[in-house]
Amino acid sequence: MKRLSILMIFIAPFICHISYAQGDQSAMIENKVANIEAQVIEWRRDLHEHPELSNREFETAKKVADHLESLGLEVKTGIAHTGVVGVLKGTQEGPVVALRADMDALPVTERVDIPFASKVKSTYLDQEVGVMHACGHDTHVAILMGVASILSSMRDQIPGTVVFIFQPAEEGAPPGEEGGAELMVQEGVLKDYDVDVIFGLHINSMTEVGKIRYKIGGELAAADVFTINVKGKQTHGSMPWGGVDPIVASAQIIMGLQTIISRQTELTKEAAVISVGKFTSGVRNNIIPESAQMIGTIRTLDVGMQEIIHEKIRKTATMIGESAGCDVEVIIDKGVPVTYNDPELTRKMIPTLERSAGAENIIVSKAITGAEDFSFFANEVPGLFFFLGGMPEGQSPMDAAPHHTPDFYIDESGMALGVETLINLTLDYMKLSAKM
């Protein structure tokens, strides 16, 4: 016992020194985040006021590239059309950590009464549309710009390399084009820099400011696109018996698709969704047209269920159409895979999340049927994707406007936590790797 006491007296100063050193760095990071918060909000407001659609993020990419170059980072542009990558090499050897932010906006006309509301118009699927950051990607870009600023000022304290990935077209490339995380991966954005792990976040309008949500394993759904073309026979609207009505058949198909979920899918295993988002047919009130087309999304969290649902969609649409005398073509394009948080990496970084937000503000959530093409990155290297609170404190999630809607709103006071958390995840992972 006496020897142990002497040993403790000898090593205690070193333990205290390590503890104080960690505390000093945390305090320094908190101070740097507080100092840059106003600038991050200013960047976000500028991006929000000037949104750009997928694969068209030209001005956004230029702003990002100019900022990264001003920090002295190695910068590469034009990846997957408009993507930007910045590389920060620390003064010490260590792992390569990638941080990702998506840049694109949506074809949504903003209704939020804020001074920096978007008034941008563009063309989407041959229609004039409003353009809005209705999913919070403007906050993601601004947050990562802030992270780059702070980490570049700490170069001598970084035991490794940080790769900042600013990704276009998370919402999906326009028809006939490639894009997004999938194309960035194909073009070598991870392999070229020998990335070891990747971290990403998503602001959430229905999670309170100051809180973080995550899930180990499958967190977000796979998202596939289906197109169903229904061909009938055109006739005068006053003589429906003279033709074959593709609109009525399509209406029956739409209802039939819903019974795949409500009556034929084992929802106690995993959630699944089929939604028709676009329906096109006809040109005049008194003409039953020759054809109709519906386009929709399929969300699944299980690969086996995904294949079963695809087959049931083909069978249901074809047989309902045939019963009405229509020819039916079903096209299913596999899109975004399940977003999967690597269990080992996630468990390793939970203490970092808790230190950043406070353990009482960390929420372990269930899987959701939203989708994220961050999954393409996380399929290549271990990844951790989390949700950052953006709902005003005290507001009910039931009263918060969902993502992808004209009333989508984010409380900017939650962005500082995003900056701090990404910095902490980066540095903590590097330190943990050095000990292994």
Which domains are delineated in the chain? 25-220+339-435 (3.40.630.10), 222-336 (3.30.70.360)
Amino acid identity, position 220 = L
State pLDDT tens for residues 268-308.
999 999 999 999 999 999 999 999 999 999 999 988 999 99
What's the pLDDT score for residue 25? 85
Q: How far apart are CA 58 and CA 284, in angstroms?
A: 39
What does the pLDDT average to over 343-361? 98
How do beta strands 197-208 and 383-391 pair?
Answer: parallel
Question: Is the CB of residue 197 less than 8 Å from the CB of residue 383?
Answer: yes
Contacting residues for 386 by C-beta, under 8 A, at least 6 apart: 200, 201, 202, 212, 213, 214, 353, 421
Amino acid identity, position 151 = L
Q: Does residue 403 have a pLDDT over 80?
A: yes
Q: Which helix (H) or strand (E) holds 207?
A: strand 197-208
279 bridge partner residues: 294
What's the pLDDT score for residue 64? 98
What's the pLDDT score for residue 279? 97
What's the pLDDT score for residue 26? 87
Residue 409: how many CB atoms within 10 A of its CB? 19
Question: Is the CB of residue 83 less than 8 Å from the CB of residue 167?
Answer: yes
Q: How far apart are CA 346 and CA 364, in angstroms?
A: 11
Compute the 3-state secondary structure of the chain and give helix, strand, coil in percent, each to the nearest 5. 40, 30, 30
What does the pLDDT average to over 64-86? 98
**Which residues are tagged catalytic?**
104, 170
Nearest in space to 431 (alpha carbons), one of 118, 119, 90: 90
Q: Does residue 202 have a pLDDT over 70?
A: yes
Positive or negative, the CA dihedral 260, 262, 267, 273 is positive
Contacting residues for 203 by C-beta, under 8 A, at least 6 apart: 136, 139, 140, 387, 388, 389, 390, 410, 414, 415, 418
State pLDDT tens for residues 5-14.
444 444 444 4
Q: Does residue 227 have a pLDDT over 90?
A: yes
